Amino acid sequence: MKVAFVGAGNVAWHLAQAFENVHISITEVYSRNEMHAENLCKKLHHAIVKKELYFSDPELDILILAVSDDALPTIVKQIQVPSNTIVVHTSGSVSMDIFQDMTYHYGVFYPLQTFSKEKPLNINKVPFCIEGKNDFIKNKLRNLASSISESVYDVDSTQRKTLHVGAVFACNFVNHLLAISKNILADKSLDFNILKPLIEETIKKALTTDHPKNAQTGPAIRKDTQTIQRHLSYLQDTPQEQTIYQLLTDSIMHFYANKSE
Amino acid sequence: MKVAFVGAGNVAWHLAQAFENVHISITEVYSRNEMHAENLCKKLHHAIVKKELYFSDPELDILILAVSDDALPTIVKQIQVPSNTIVVHTSGSVSMDIFQDMTYHYGVFYPLQTFSKEKPLNINKVPFCIEGKNDFIKNKLRNLASSISESVYDVDSTQRKTLHVGAVFACNFVNHLLAISKNILADKSLDFNILKPLIEETIKKALTTDHPKNAQTGPAIRKDTQTIQRHLSYLQDTPQEQTIYQLLTDSIMHFYANKSE
């Protein structure tokens, strides 16, 4: 199998090397920033730096566009590939239909994880979300993903949107709450490390129980209005945090009042 | 050193056994539910079930009230102890002053972790927050905590309140966002397991970087208004979740506009 990449950022960096580890050849790497493509090619066996978006090797099986969501529409317009090459992007939020005017063979190859070049990660545990224009393509992409990961899911564009919304709540917003918590402690010269074991245990419980709702604790679920009032008045000088406290407290009360099934 | 407990719930269960592991004797255990006290005493070497709140052993060094916040005021009114016994509670949100009309020797012995009887945990990693009416008491409590944990902090009642507010954001609210995320996926028959590696990585990054704000990702920090609008309209049938999405998105934008120091 022959694979080429457009993009040499964090995602391409990890995927390309993972493929070569299972003897899938990376033939070419294109990047708007040629230096990035060179750096990645140095990590690979035979890959060469591609200088334009015209791919002519008829044996190229899969072209992976591992570029930012913003860059995708422009790149898609510029690319030319042999008619049998499958073109995929790696984005969580762009529909597969972005390819419909470009080629007949396309799909999505979305690794649901954050990548950093400098940080090694166990690609075998990364969930890959696969979508293909037809079953032949889907199979091919599923095989490609299975060669590097034990966790491969068929996810269509609608479900991918759902996943993305879910990830915003479970990851982006969670991280923001941790940032707010750190600031609340720092304002009183308290070391955030003191909360870490509790945070780790909270996550562990939430992810091992049937549903995180079974692990909910705190003043809101206890309907401990005295504590809630004390906390709200504690937060009176930071109205944004106060509003978040009020809304999430209301949401917890509402959640367990109506969804205690 | 002799220690006794009022309360035989999750906290007493773990603390009492941890103390005996380092050869600190538990002499007596009282519980409103006598069966609970009996069950705990069975796990201990010489402890006996106490049937009333009158403690008369003049050698009792420390009496630990490991009861719920609600029960504390009533219990405190009923208890009698020898004048040298230090009385502490284990609550994150009740002031030390609750003891001021009861005895001269008091403090707080607050383990910042969630406990379940059936779940073993490494007590050595649990942060203990210590407060004492004077330095003698503080030292005594610090030594007691250090005998079972490597992580002991001096935390006064004001700081304890701060910690509690911080923990509501970092644990209770975080768990709730995970519950919401699970429901969003479940509504479209998507397995929540698909998000777990990303959640774990998010937490790992947030807790190992200098400040979780350095690990923020997602549409809000990218000011990706198109994606944000798509997500908001996706959530239009669940107005509570839509409001949370809007508020936390605004908060992230605001946070990084003003606090990019």
- Chain A residues closer than 8 Å to B227 by CB: 69, 93, 164
Rounded-to-integer distance, Cα B64 and Cα B75, Å:
12
Q: Considering chain B, what is the average pLDDT of its residues?
A: 94
pLDDT per residue, tens digit, chain A (261 aa), is 999 999 999 999 999 999 999 999 999 999 999 999 999 999 999 999 999 999 999 999 999 999 998 899 999 999 999 999 999 999 988 999 999 988 889 999 999 998 888 888 899 999 999 999 999 999 999 999 999 999 999 999 899 999 999 999 999 999 999 999 999 999 999 999 999 999 999 999 999 999 999 999 999 998 989 899 999 999 999 999 999 999 999 999 999 986 544
DSSP string, A36-101: HHHHHHHHSSS-EEE-SSB---TT--EEEE---TTTHHHHHHH-B--TT-EEEE--SSS-GGGGTT
Q: Give me the residue from B153, B181, B188 closest to A159, CB to CB.
A: B188
Provide mean pLDDT across the span B12-17. Answer: 97
Q: Determine the pLDDT at residue A121.
A: 87
User: pLDDT tens digits, residue range B118-158?
Assistant: 888 899 999 999 999 999 999 999 999 999 999 999 999 89
β-strands A106-111, A128-132 pairing:
antiparallel
pTM score of the predicted model: 0.87
Structure tokens at A91: 């984005």
Structure tokens at A256: 């367990």
C-alpha triplet B227, A169, B258: angle, nearest 5°: 75
Provide mean pLDDT across the span B207-218. Answer: 94
pLDDT band at B209 (very low <50, low <70, confident <90, very high): very high
Rounded-to-integer distance, Cα A28 and Cα A79, Å:
14
Question: Nearest CA to CA, how far is A48 from chain B (Å)?
Answer: 32
- Cβ count near A75 (within 10 Å): 18
Q: Give me the residue from B161, B170, B178 closest to A199, CB to CB.
A: B170
- Chain B residues closer than 8 Å to A227 by CB: 69, 93, 164
Q: Determine the pLDDT at residue B159.
A: 93
Count of residues in chain A: 261
ipTM confidence: 0.88
Beta strands in chain B (DSSP E): 2-6, 25-30, 48-50, 62-65, 86-89, 106-111, 128-132, 152-154
Provide mean pLDDT across the span B161-188. Answer: 96
- Cβ count near B221 (within 10 Å): 17
Best probe of the B interface among A177, A256, A261, by most B CBs < 10 A, is A177
Q: Determine the pLDDT at residue A116.
A: 85
Q: Which of A53, A62, A54 is nearest to A26 (CA)?
A: A62
- Closest-CA residue of A relative to B232 is A165
Structure tokens at B77: 């009114």
Q: What is the DSSP letter of B221?
A: T
Q: Determine the pLDDT at residue B117.
A: 87
Best probe of the A interface among B232, B248, B250, by most A CBs < 10 A, is B248
